[in-house]
Amino acid sequence: MASGQTVTEAHAGGHEGDETASPAGQEIPEGLIDLARLVSAQGVRTSIIHYVGLHLRSHRPLPFPREDRFELIAHSRGGWEVASVTVGDRSGCFVVSLPSVGVTTQLVNGDQPHAVVDLILAALSKDVA
């Protein structure tokens, strides 16, 4: 199995180009697009990364599962990763990781994107200090 990634970058003010599909042709979850808009409106730079898992042919089964997911990354002014957010495939919840403040995983209901924005902004304020 080989793994690659594509990036769709959002700046303060929104995405450039087609917002609903990655360069690999997969649909970006609507929750991540909305979240990127909310975070960008606060002046935070974001990127949406599409991790693509590829299956390679082999005479024996490969032990690795397929990986195909989208992740929103929020960056500090210095360019450091402050937060990463994915959307749970089944639950639709936001899975938030804030490595700069020691939070490995926090679940937020999919209907509460403003709570995710608040977590990111709080992590940014601690990153500046």
Dihedral sign for Cα atoms in the order 55, 23, 87, 79: positive
Element (H, E) at 82: strand 81-87
Report pLDDT for 5.
45
Residue 115, pLDDT above cutoff 90: yes
Q: Compute the distance between CA of residue 36 and CA of residue 39 in angstroms, rounded to an integer.
A: 5
Instruction: Give the whole-number percent of the chain exceeding pLDDT 90.
Output: 46
Query: Tell me: the pLDDT tens digits for 59-104?
Result: 776 666 556 789 999 999 888 999 999 998 888 899 999 988 888 8
Residue 9 one-letter amino acid: E
Instruction: Give the whole-number percent of the chain exceeding pLDDT 70.
Output: 67
Q: Compute the distance between CA of residue 107 and CA of residue 13 in angstroms, rounded to an integer.
A: 26
Q: Compute the distance between CA of residue 50 and CA of residue 29 in angstroms, rounded to an integer.
A: 11
Report pLDDT for 113.
95
Residue 108, pLDDT above cutoff 60: yes
Strand 103-108's sheet: what is its strand order?
A: 14-15, 2-11, 45-54, 68-75, 81-87, 94-98, 103-108
Asked which of 23-27, 30-34, 100-104 is least confident by mean pLDDT, the reply is 23-27
pLDDT bracket for residue 3 (50, 70, 90):
very low
Q: Compute the distance between CA of residue 39 and CA of residue 74 in angstroms, rounded to an integer.
A: 8
Residue owning tokens 């450039």: 16
Give the HSE-up count for residue 62: Cα atoms under 13 Å, Cβ half-sphere.
Answer: 11
Asked if residues 21 and 50 have their Cβ atoms less than 8 Å apart, the reply is no
Summary mean pLDDT of the chain: 79
**Mean pLDDT value across residues 34-57:** 87
